[in-house]
Amino acid sequence: MIPTKLFKTRYLPAVMVFFLFLFMGIVQSVSADETAARSSFETITKNGVLRVGVALFTPWAFKGKDGKLIGFEMDVAKKLAKDMGVAPKFISYDWKKLIPALKNGEIDIIIAGMSITPPRALKVNFSMPYATSGVSLATHLEGTKHIKSIKELNHPSIKIGVIAETVSEGLARRVFKKASIVVFQKSNEAEDAIVSGKIQAYVESNPIPRFIALDHPEKVDVPLSKPLLATQTGFAINKGDPDFLNFLNSWIISRQADTWLQSTHNYWFKSLKWK
Q: Is residue 87 part of a domain?
A: yes
Residue predicted with more confidence, 125 or 205: 125
Q: Is residue 156 part of a domain?
A: yes
The answer on 257 and 196 residing in a single domain is no
The answer on 179 and 60 residing in a single domain is no
- Our measurement of the distance from residue 112's CA atom to the centroid of its chain's CA atoms, rounded to an integer in Å, reads 6
Kindly report the CATH number assigned to the domain that includes residue 73. 3.40.190.10
Cβ atoms of 122 and 210 within 8 Å: the answer is no
Q: For the chain, what is the domain count?
A: 2
* DSSP secondary structure, 251-270, as one string: HHHHHHHTTHHHHHHHHHHS
The answer on 240 and 225 residing in a single domain is no
Q: Is residue 197 part of a domain?
A: yes
**Domain coverage including residue 168:** 135-230
- Indicate the residue among 200, 215, 230 that finishes a domain: 230
Q: Is residue 195 part of a domain?
A: yes
Q: Is residue 19 part of a domain?
A: no
The SS3 of residue 62 is strand
For residue 169, the surrounding DSSP H or E stretch is helix 167-175
The SS3 of residue 184 is strand
The answer on 140 and 217 residing in a single domain is yes
Does residue 246 register a pLDDT over 90? Answer: yes
Q: Give the global pTM.
A: 0.75
pLDDT confidence bin for 25, thresholds 50/70/90: very low
The answer on 222 and 140 residing in a single domain is yes
- For residue 13, the model assigns a pLDDT of 54
Is the Cα dihedral 37, 42, 47, 50 positive or negative? positive
